[in-house]
Structure 1
Amino acid sequence: MRLSRFAAYASSLLLAAAATLTGVGAAHADSGDRQSAAPTYVALGDSYSSGVGAGNYDSGSGSCKRSTRAFPALWAAANAPSGFSFTACSGARTDDVLASQMGPLNSGTGLVSITVGGNDAGFSDVMTTCVLQSEDNCVARVNQAKAYVDSTLPGKLDRVYTAIKSKSPSARVVVLGYPRFYKLGGSCLAGLSERERTAINGGADHLNAALAKRAADHGFAFGDVTTTFAGHEICSGAPWLHSVVWTNIGESYHPTAAGQSGGYLPVFSRTAS
């Protein structure tokens, strides 16, 4: 029996030494540290968070069209948070976030991301007007959306942000903006006029400024994606945004898979830390 115990002890020493030399023990420890360090993460918002336009949608998400190529799913796959709830949904407005997306938030939530406000401001109607109607009508519709952003949207954002803070007071909250759609003076030879493209880009900037202001007022971080999408707008040589997709109109003017991984993910990754 004593010899048996000695053999077992010697074997354990050899295994420990081998693990130390090969780095196996350190690798397991590092993996565990990374997993324990990643906070519980909840991804809220509209189609820019759910991943419309990126393809590879989760069939269980139905019309919400949550994609495994969307930046929340990509971040979760890379960082192994202790919990991940993906409730973002295509077409969501601020009221929809409040009504149906906030269930997973609680006092243990460590990280929250959200894109919302574009649908409230009439994003879809703006683009429909600009594509199908006159240049003057397009510019007027953009200006109408900007007026809504000034007068009504701040109060709606306040309600969402206040609810997030109330439910998850210790969470780091990252509000992400929207890209400019067009590279001005770019390669597009048809479609909207340069005046219309300029107005649409100006509308995106106006919305982003409002989002950044409300985020700051609530103590949240703001992620500006216009920087990473620069050079990858529609009419650029390597666009990360769909133009009009006649075969799947809902994907029009949304980021491609490259837009999610190259445009949104780096900004969120930097801002989340």
Structure 2
Amino acid sequence: MKRILITGKNSYIGNSFSEWITNDEDFYVEKVSLKDDSWKEIIFSKFDVILHVAGIAHVSSDPKMEEHYYKVNRDLTIEVAKKAKKDGVKQFIFMSSIIVYGDSDKLDGTISISTVPKSSNFYGNSKLQAEEGIVSLQTNNFNVVIIRPPMIYGKGSKGNYPKLAKLAKVTPVFPDFPNKRSMLHIDNLCEFIKLMIINNESGFFFPQNKDYVCTSEMVALIASASGKRLGLTKMFNPLIRKLLKLELVNKVFGNLIYDKQMSIYKDEYQIRNLEESIKLTESVNWFE
């Protein structure tokens, strides 16, 4: 049996993963909050794996928040990893982000294995510096896994997906604009984490859905799953192309993808395709 401690009691990823393996007798899970120092009294040695998902997950441009981002996303991550190693934990899994590569409008749209991370805000930089601080802890007896997922979505997720879903349910038309985004449904991520633990992996990993997502296609699928009628039109495409340098427009219609070769793994984890994942995400009774 693998004994797992999840940092971040109210984490979307942590709670989803705990639910994912709840009936698997090969796993035992506990969760802990890092909001105060009580976690330091926990004896980590009784766990095989630390799944570190605690942190600030949203992007802020408020300069007053910068110090807090580094304190939580970088310093706390390194502190937890060092305690895990000292206490004899065998594996430390850190949830980083595609954000370490910067905004899509700063890239050519495609991230390859040779793309050098270059964050464009202190959220991304705090994640990148956390990676740098824990990767050096890797030894034969302490495996460090760093996962850089693209946008994660699923029932109850936060971030950009709920905003798109809300729009899909009220707008009668939406631009039919060709773009590609790497995305990751929460079930695919949970299965991937499970495989990381089973195989006692170490290193950097870039999981994503099997197929790239076109924003227009996703919005249409959300509307359909919600029983709404939505028409796609190309009439706005010339304007969108002119406005792609704007951050908001680029986040919706820009390209940001991982080379698919980066996301291949020896075991199957991409168990949900796009259409199925949208139906599950928009299902009223899912997880209830």
Q: TM-score range by the shorter chain?
A: 0.3 to 0.5
TM-score (norm 1): 0.44
Task: Report the TM-score, using the length of structure 2 for normalisation.
Answer: 0.42
Greater share of helix residues, 1 or 2?
Answer: 1
* Larger Cα-atom Rg: 1
Query: More strand per residue: 1 or 2?
Result: 2
